[in-house]
Amino acid sequence: MCWPHRPWDRGGGMVLRCLIVDDSPGFREAIHVLLEAQGIEVVGGAGSVAEALAQIAELRPDVMLIDLDLGGESGLALARRIHDGAVGAIPKVILISTHDEWDFADLIEGTHAVGFLSKTSISAAAIRRTLTAQSPD
């Protein structure tokens, strides 16, 4: 069977697989519960760049939500490493933050992330809209 280009846009087809990268375990858990309730399979969570890189090959997420600020590490640097092929298969990256997107617009653009979501606006619908907006028809 030939699957459409956008597995997350099938109207009941394949479930979108998501990896959450944030240094706050409480935030990861809250978003995990929210997204699972809204039909996104959260395959894992990482609190650091090293944990995220280790989980990508094993868990093979379709999309990653990556916090811009991972404590002492940079979510921007992680997004660049993913795009540069440092991890094999390249999942779509959506950067997240409590900060306004415009505070980091130039930096975000250089990462090849497919989009940005404020942490307060994260939902399955927002993730799907972000992925669909960047995908060719």
**Is residue 114 domain-resident?**
yes
Mean pLDDT of 44-60: 93
Q: Which of 96-100, 123-127, 131-135 has the lowest mean pLDDT?
A: 131-135
**What's the total number of domains in the chain?**
1
**Is residue 5 domain-resident?**
no
**Is residue 69 domain-resident?**
yes
At residue 11, does pLDDT exceed 60?
Answer: no
Counting Cβ atoms within 10 Å, is residue 80 exposed (0-12), middle (13-18) or buried (19+)?
middle
**Is residue 20 domain-resident?**
yes
Range of the domain at 82: 16-130
**Is residue 29 domain-resident?**
yes
What CATH number is given to the structural domain containing 108? Answer: 3.40.50.2300
At residue 117, does pLDDT exceed 90?
Answer: yes
Mean pLDDT of the chain: 83
Stated pTM of the model: 0.83
pLDDT digits (tens, 9 = 90+) for 54-109: 999 889 999 999 999 898 888 988 988 888 775 566 899 999 998 765 556 666 66
**Is residue 44 domain-resident?**
yes
Confidence class of residue 5 from pLDDT cuts 50, 70 and 90? very low
At residue 8, does pLDDT exceed 90?
Answer: no
Note the pLDDT of residue 15: 86
**Is residue 7 domain-resident?**
no
- Residue, of 50 and 2, whose pLDDT is higher: 50
- Residue, of 88 and 129, whose pLDDT is higher: 129
Confidence class of residue 29 from pLDDT cuts 50, 70 and 90? very high
